[in-house]
Amino acid sequence: MIAGLAEFVGGLLVALGLLTPIAALAVCGSMLVAMFTVHVGKGFWNQNGGIEFPLTILAAMVALSLTGAGLYSLDHLLSVRLPEPATWAVMAFLVVVGVLSALFGQSLRSVSPREAVAS
């Protein structure tokens, strides 16, 4: 539910060009969740349900969070100024670490004691 909400709200804000670096990072987090929970075991190519499409969206959102929305955005129209891209790179790294640790923590909790002994 949270990943879907982050993807929807983040995508809407990116489309409007409002708070673009924050919105792009929300979409990045959602794509990381999708990649590691649904797509990673299916290979690379999208036709097999792989990570190609979410990885493409992730790369586009990282680039957009570092460059900004540009002249035709609400950020530019409303003169919204956010910190430098180096700050966003650090924040993106923290988002990645947080999402990955949550995913690995989830996968560790979902293994029952019987499954752990059997393996």
pLDDT band at 87 (very low <50, low <70, confident <90, very high): low
pLDDT tens digits along 25-74: 888 888 888 888 888 889 889 898 888 999 999 999 888 887 878 888 89
Q: Which two tokens stand for residue 97?
A: 């670490």
Mean pLDDT over residues 14-31, rounded? 87
Name the percent of the chain lying above pLDDT 70. Answer: 72
pLDDT for residue 43: 87
Q: Which domain holds residue 40?
A: 2-118
pLDDT band at 12 (very low <50, low <70, confident <90, very high): very high
Mean pLDDT over residues 13-18, rounded? 91
Rounded Cα–Cα distance for residues 43 and 64 (Å): 26
pLDDT for residue 105: 63
Q: How many domains does the chain have?
A: 1
Q: SS3 of 81, please?
A: coil
Rounded to two decimals, the pTM is 0.68
DSSP percent split of the chain into helix, strand, coil, nearest 5: 75, 0, 25
